[in-house]
Chain A
């Protein structure tokens, strides 16, 4: 079983990307079954209904953040999924305020399961949000294996170029791609997100 952690700021398009990715993974015989873990910090959960409504197996952790307040609940949830369903992949959608590096550290330390980290950045709101919430956004992106600059179709070419450059400045080790979350996923992006093995 492999784990993909999907992080990124609130409203950046994580759920839309996961829907797109899961559809693509179902077409690929190498990936096996998929279970999605959904984490939302409010008192109500919204995205799990979207994902389960699309036909995916979803487990929910809400009313707290899995990178801190619900950190203790995540490893047993992953173990339970492994024992009961043994999927090829777990896709974990972190809350929009989570630091994926903390989640990766938790899972790798407690369970010894290596995790891929993919973060989504919002090209349309990047400038505004980065100026106001720099520490949070930097912290979310700096340890990702792949960063997808979403809503690339909603900004002009110069703006996109600027966002891509700033993202690469935060994390120069990650594969960085522009993304339109309602489009299709090219092979190169698919491999960068899930790893080449």
Chain B
């Protein structure tokens, strides 16, 4: 079941579509925004970071190959004693590390010219294979 809220101010559109499978789709100014959050069941933070970066690159590649434009894909990964932000604007990810104290992954893909269904499927088949919704 999904819920849709639409707000319209200053001529801008903003619409939410919540999905139970961990990918939430919304829209703004012509973009499609796919948000994902949950946990990665890997105890090694370096392995989790590398795996997430690989899936982010794969998501970006698939969005571009399907004729879309990647605005920004960014995730924050927090594990015991560390935290990383992984970001993709073109084809290569960049990673910034700083201190952190919990263990979660969350982020969003903000893209253009792909359908809701396409983005949802791409995120589920890439980062979604790693990030499980929290209980």
A complexed with B: yes
Q: Can you list, as one digit per residue, whether each of B11-49 has a CB less than 8 Å from chain A (1) or not (0)?
A: 110101000000010101111010111000000000000
Question: Which of A46, A47, A125 has the most chain B CB atoms closer than 10 A to its own CB?
Answer: A46
Q: Provide the bound-state CA to CA distance between A40 and B75, in Å.
A: 13
| B15 shortest CB reach to chain A, Å | 10
Stretch at the interface among A21-29, A77-85, A128-136, A171-179: A128-136
Number of interface residues of B (CB under 8 A): 39
B10 touches A67 (CB 8 A): yes
CB of A124 within 8 Å of the partner chain:
yes
- Do A42 and B12 form a contact, CB below 8 Å, given A96-B72, A125-B89, A132-B112? no
A102 touches B14 (CB 8 A): no
Minimal Cβ-Cβ distance residue in A for B74: A46
Partner of A132 from the list B69, B76, B78, B106 (CB cut-off 8 Å) is B69
B35 touches A43 (CB 8 A): yes
Partner of A11 from the list B28, B36, B89 (CB cut-off 8 Å) is B89
Partner of B85 from the list A49, A68, A102 (CB cut-off 8 Å) is A49
CB of B7 within 8 Å of the partner chain:
yes
CB of A54 within 8 Å of the partner chain:
yes
Partner of A68 from the list B9, B26, B75 (CB cut-off 8 Å) is B9
| B69 shortest CB reach to chain A, Å | 6
- Do A46 and B108 form a contact, CB below 8 Å, given A11-B72, A41-B28, A64-B14? yes
B14 touches A42 (CB 8 A): no
CB of A44 within 8 Å of the partner chain:
yes
A41 touches B12 (CB 8 A): no
Q: Can you list, as one digit per residue, whether each of A1-13 has a CB less than 8 Å from chain B (1) or not (0)?
A: 0000000011100
CB of B126 within 8 Å of the partner chain:
no
A41 touches B33 (CB 8 A): yes
Q: Provide the bound-state CA to CA distance between A9 and B98, in Å.
A: 24
CB of B127 within 8 Å of the partner chain:
no
Chain A residues positioned under 8 Å from B28 (CB to CB): 41, 65, 69, 95, 97
A–B pairs, 14, beta carbons within 8 Å: A10-B89, A42-B26, A44-B37, A44-B108, A46-B106, A49-B76, A49-B85, A71-B9, A97-B28, A97-B110, A128-B69, A132-B112, A133-B69, A133-B112
Which residues of A come within 8 Å of B, CB atoms? 9-11, 40-44, 46-47, 49-50, 53-54, 63-65, 67-69, 71, 95-97, 102, 122, 124-125, 128-129, 132-133, 136
Which residues of B come within 8 Å of A, CB atoms? 7, 9-12, 14, 16, 24, 26, 28-31, 33, 35-37, 69, 71-72, 74-76, 78, 83, 85, 87, 89-90, 96, 98-100, 106-108, 110, 112-113
